[in-house]
Amino acid sequence: MSNTLLIGDRAYSSWSLRAWLMFDAFELPCHIERTRLYSDDFPRDLTRFPPTRTVPALRLADGTVVADTLAIAEELATRHPAAGLWPEDPSLRAAARMLCAEMHASFAALRSDCPMNLRVAYAGFPPSDAVRADVARIDALWAYARAIAPSDGPWLFGDYSLADAFYAPVATRFATYDLPVSDAAQAYVAAQLAHPSFRRWRAMALVDGPDQPTYAMPHATRPWPGPVPRTASAVDEGPAENAACPYSGDPVTHFLSLDGRIYGFCNAFCRDKTVADPEAWPEFIALTGAH
C-alpha cells in the first residue's frame, strides 16, 4: 500500500496545495485522489478517510489516517528524517516550526478576503486595513527568517523546507491580488511561483475541472505574474512522435502541438496539463529533447 492523499480543487484549495508540496517538493511517494469542493461527492469522499472532515486527508502506507497540514508535516518529518523537510539546524528548525504554526492559526482577514485562486490575477483589488496588517506581519516574518538564516538562495531558511511549502499559498494570494509587499517579499513570491513543483500544481489547476463560481470577483484582470509558459495547443489528431504517454507509459490517444511537433498522451488530463505549462513537466521536456 502506498501513501494516498485526498485533495480538493487544485485552483482553490490552499490547504491541499500545502500538503501536496510536502510530497512532490521532497520527492516522497504518494498516490493522489481528488474531490470537488462544494459538491455532493465531497462528504462522501471524506468518509474513506475517517475521522477527517476536510481536505487534505492522508492515508499513510500502513493505513494510518492523518488530517491537518501541521500534523501531516510533522508525521512526514518523523517518518522521513533524511528528506530534509525541516532545517537541520535546531534553532532554524524551531523558527521554521514557529512560522508554520502562525501560518496555520492566523491571517484570518487574508484568508477571507483573498481566497486562493490560481486561475486569475486581479488588478485594482482594494485590500482592507486588516488584510494590509496581515500582509505586513507576513512580510516581517519572511524578513526575520532570512535575517537569521542568511543564504544566497531564495528560501526562508536556506534550503527549501516545510516553511516554504506552508507559505506557498500565501505567495499565490499576494500574486493573485497584487498585494503591497516589500521588494524582498516580492522576490520570494517570484521564487515560489517559479518553483518546479508549484508550476506543476498550477498547470494542473488550470485544467482541473470547471471554475468554482464562489471564487469569482468583480475586478479587472491582468496576466499571471509567474513564469510565462511556452505556447502549446491541443490538436485532434496525430500521428505523434511518441507511441507511449510520457507520464503513464500507456498508448497515446490525445495530442498536442508544440513548435510544430506533435506529441501524444494517454488521456485528456495528461495532455491538457502539459498544454498549460510544457516546461513544468520533466518527462515531457525529456521527450522533446530540450534541456
Into how many domains does the chain fold? 3
pLDDT along the chain (291 residues), means of 10: 94 98 97 96 96 96 96 97 97 98 96 98 97 98 96 95 98 98 97 98 97 95 97 96 97 98 98 98 92 52
CA distance 199 to 226: 9
Q: Provide the pLDDT for residue 150.
A: 86
Contact 165, 157 (CB under 8 A): no
Same domain membership, residue 189 and residue 99: yes
The CATH number assigned to the domain holding 35 equals: 3.40.30.10
CA distance 263 to 230: 15
Q: Which residue, of 50, 83, 116, is where some domain finishes?
A: 83
Same domain membership, residue 74 and residue 17: yes
Same domain membership, residue 96 and residue 64: no
Q: Provide the pLDDT for residue 290.
A: 66
Q: Which domain holds residue 52?
A: 4-83
Whole-prediction pTM value?
0.96
C-alpha cell at 66: 492523518
Same domain membership, residue 113 and residue 196: yes
